[in-house]
């Protein structure tokens, strides 16, 4: 039986150090695991506004990255790192 694929979406922007760290963590997980995949979305390049992001998240958004795993909002980078440690046995 094939394991369920986890799909992560990271909404970020250029020049954001936490966005870079989130992308690096997602890349590491993607390389180490067969059941993890991700997509990074540059909100500036895609023309996504703060209001668009808030609609997607369902609450006010002050910072990026905003990260979703399987369409469930996880939060920012530190939330994503904590989620990975708890759910994927990540000890980075």
Is 2 noted as a catalytic residue in this protein?
A: no
Q: Find the catalytic residue in 16, 21, 28, 76.
A: 16
Is 4 noted as a catalytic residue in this protein?
A: no
Is 21 noted as a catalytic residue in this protein?
A: no
Q: pLDDT tens track of the chain, all 92 residues?
A: 456 789 999 999 999 999 999 999 999 999 999 999 999 999 999 999 999 999 999 999 999 999 999 999 999 999 999 999 998 876 65
Residue 44 lies in a domain: yes
Residue 1 lies in a domain: no
Is 38 noted as a catalytic residue in this protein?
A: no
Q: Which range marks the domain in which residue 36 is found? A: 6-88
Is 33 noted as a catalytic residue in this protein?
A: no
Residue 69 lies in a domain: yes
Domain count across the chain: 1
How far apart CA 64 and CA 46 sit, in angstroms, is 14
Residue 67 lies in a domain: yes
**Domain containing 11 — which CATH number?**
3.40.30.10
């Amino acid at each position: 039986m094939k394991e369920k694929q986890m799909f992560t979406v990271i909404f970020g922007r250029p020049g954001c150090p936490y966005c870079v760290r989130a992308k690096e963590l997602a890349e590491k997980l993607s390389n180490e695991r067969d059941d993890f995949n991700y997509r990074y979305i540059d909100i500036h390049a895609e023309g996504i506004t703060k209001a668009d992001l808030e609609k997607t998240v369902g609450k006010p958004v002050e910072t990026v990255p905003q990260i979703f795993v399987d369409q469930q909002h996880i939060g920012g980078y530190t939330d994503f790192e904590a989620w990975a440690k708890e759910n994927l046995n990540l000890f980075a």
